[in-house]
Amino acid sequence: MSLTFYGYSGCGTCRKAKKWLDEHSIEYHEVPIVESPPSKVELQKLHEISGLPIKKFFNTSGRRYRDLGMKEKMETSSLDELLDWLASDGMLIKRPIVTDNDKKVTVGFKEDIFQKTWL
């Protein structure tokens, strides 16, 4: 099983997640989320597979989220509009996103969730 790993080189959480995957000999293809953010269609698929609320896909602690006033936009925007925002700026996306491109998606890194999902 080879996973797709959407990450950012300056992200400590991404480094921890990659280390965990490496330690467990899990293959992954890394996609730089800032330079090559997932498309709106890809994000919609990831969202649907994950079963998570769309808010979980936003980097709510990031500067871009605050600068764009996304907290307020989360309340009034449609899912379609929120997916447009995410697809337009990789820095808005919570990372890492890891997927098998079929049935599983994780957002962020929590060791227990990686353990349950990827082992």
Kindly give, in sequence order, each residue whose CB lies less than 8 Å from that of residue 25, ignoring residues fewer than 6 positions away. Answer: none
CA distance 97 to 109: 9
List the domain boundaries for the chain: 2-118
Per-residue pLDDT band at 102 (split at 50, 70, 90): very high
Q: Distance between CA atoms of 57 and 82, rounded to whole angstroms?
A: 10
Q: Which CATH class is domain 2-118?
A: alpha beta
Query: How much is the pLDDT for 6?
Result: 98
Considering only CA atoms, give the Rg of the chain.
14
* CA terminus-to-terminus distance, the chain: 10
DSSP-derived secondary structure letter, 55 = G
- Phi/psi at 97 (nearest 5 deg)? -105, 125
- The pLDDT score that the predictor gives to residue 56 is 97
- Three-class DSSP category at 103: coil
pLDDT digits (tens, 9 = 90+) for 1-31: 689 999 999 999 999 999 999 999 999 999 9
Side chain identity at 87, as an amino acid letter?
A
pTM: 0.94
Q: How many CB atoms lie within 10 A of CB 57?
A: 25
What is the mean predicted confidence (pLDDT) over 92-100?
97
Structure token pair of residue 54: 């769309």
The CA angle 77-63-48, to the nearest 5 degrees, is: 45
> pLDDT at position 115, please?
97
